[in-house]
Amino acid sequence: MFMRSIIIRLQKIYSYRRSLWGMSWKQFRAKYAGSVLGLFWVIINPLLMVLVITFVFTAVFRTEVKDFALFILSGILPWMFFSSAVSEANPSLLAQKSVLHQFSLPKEILPLSSMLSYFMNFLISWCIVLPVFFLRNPGILPAAFLLPPLFLLTYFFTCGVGLLFSVVNIILRDLEHLLGILLMFWFWVTPVFYSVEMVPEQFRWVFNLNPVSPFIFCYREIVFYGRMPGPAVFLWVTCLAFASLFIGLAVSVRLESMVLKRI
């Protein structure tokens, strides 16, 4: 019976796909309305972060990783999409509760639309930086066909986490303040500017428990090393993506009556 409720909710969300797309596109345009640099901000923010981390780890800590800036870039783009989308989705139900009162929309449309707008940013940023990776190593071309499904799996995984947090935030308002700390801690235990192999073996279990780590690993294998991730890793990423989406939807459906009372 509960599975049927989730399937019905998915069908309802799909029936509102035009509203979902329209709201996402509106939010995407609003981000750059009146901005001089416009879409260039899609890539400026991660590049500035890459430059800072590269300076610290090459000039101060003297890392020996070749092409360290691209090494970081391959991991920081998926991380920034994930963290930004989840941060935006977290307060979306409270921030846009008037929309739910005025229109008969599935409440999941609100966090999903905000995350979809960040997904547009994510795809554009990859369109800009991928030629750089190709110029550095043309050998990545055979593995690059895995990027589109990986993009989609990353979006599914992020949607699940974002839906979960947006619902919990209604019940536990402190989550809005705790999320920044949680994401900061999550960032440092995610292999964005280092590889898991650099971590002392006794601490690797922490990174193995991190569900974002396999995604970063896959991106880095494809665009930096030009290798196809092993079938087991890609299967694990697929399972994580759909499990995250299922859990997010399940919690949203299960706690719907409580959420609607509080907004």
pLDDT tens-digit profile of 9-49?
A: 888 888 888 888 988 888 887 776 665 555 566 667 766 76
Q: Residue 3 above 60 pLDDT?
A: yes
Q: How far apart are CA 63 and CA 75, in angstroms?
A: 17
Q: Could you tell me the pTM of the whole model? A: 0.89
**How high is the mean pLDDT of the chain?**
85
Which domain range does residue 43 map to? 2-262
Token look-up 């402190």 returns 174
**Cα–Cα distance measured from residue 163 to residue 198, given in angstroms and rounded to the nearest whole number:** 33
pLDDT in tens, 89-109: 988 888 777 777 676 788 889
Average pLDDT over residues 81-92: 92
Q: Give me Rg for the CA atoms of the chain.
A: 19
How far is it, in rounded angstroms, from Cα 81 to Cα 213? 14
Amino acid at 154: T
Measured CA to CA, the distance from residue 179 to residue 86 in angstroms comes to 9
How do residues 111-149 score in pLDDT, each as one tens digit? 999 999 999 989 988 888 888 888 888 888 888 899 999
pLDDT over threshold 80, residue 74: yes
Q: What average pLDDT score do residues 153-181 get? A: 90
**pLDDT above 60: residue 186:** yes
Q: What is the pLDDT of residue 95?
A: 78
**Cα 153 versus chain centre, distance:** 10
In angstroms, what CA-CA distances link 125 with 18, 42, 132, 158, 256? 24, 6, 12, 17, 35
- Give the confidence band of 50 by pLDDT, cuts at 50, 70, 90: low
The pLDDT > 90 percentage for the chain reads 35
Whether the predicted pLDDT of 190 surpasses 70? yes
What's the domain count of the chain?
Answer: 1
